[in-house]
């Protein structure tokens, strides 16, 4: 899970989930605590989906 997807592609990650921002990949201080948690939940659901999806090459899970 990362914000700068081109770096993850360069270093060879196979399952990539794009995130919010460099200093807070899984949160957003502009939102309320609950809204932030909601973002985190959604991103982690994507990550679980990525982990349970077969891939044959580097894949970005938008």
Partner 1 sequence: MEKLRAVHYINQFFAQIGGEEKADHKPEAREGFVGPGMAFNAEFSGKAEIVGTVICGDSYFNENLEMATKEVLAMIKSFKPDLVIAGPAFNAGRYGMACGTVASAVKKELGIPAITGMYIENPGADSFKKEVYIIETKNSAAGMRDAVKAMVPFALKLAAGEKIGASAEEGYIPNGIRVNFFEKKRGSERAVEMLLAKLSGKPFTTEFPMPDFDRVEPNPAVKDVSKATIALVTSGGIVPKGNPDHIESSSASKYGKYDIDGIFDLTDATYETAHGGYDPVYANQDADRVLPVDILREFEKEGKIGKLHRYYYTTTGNGTAVASAKAFAEKIGKELAADGVDAVILTST
User: Which parts of 7-46 interact with partner 1 (CB under 8 A)?
Assistant: 7-8, 10-15, 19, 22-27, 29, 36-37, 40-41, 43-44
Cα-flanking dihedrals φ and ψ of residue 7, to 5°? -70, -45
Q: How many Cβ atoms are within 10 Å of 3's Cβ, its own excluded? A: 15
Residue 54 vs 62, nearer CB to partner 1: 54
Tokens standing for 35? 């809204």
Helices (H), the chain: 5-11, 33-51
Q: Can you give the binding site for partner 1, defined by CB under 8 A?
A: 1-3, 7-8, 10-15, 19, 22-27, 29, 36-37, 40-41, 43-44, 47-48, 51-59
């Amino acid at each position: 899970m990362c914000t700068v997807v081109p770096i993850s592609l360069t270093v060879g990650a196979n399952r990539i989930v794009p995130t919010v921002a460099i200093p807070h990949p899984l949160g957003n201080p502009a939102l309320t605590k609950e809204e932030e948690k909601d973002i985190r939940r959604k991103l982690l659901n994507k990550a679980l989906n990525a982990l349970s999806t077969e891939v044959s090459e580097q894949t970005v899970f938008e």
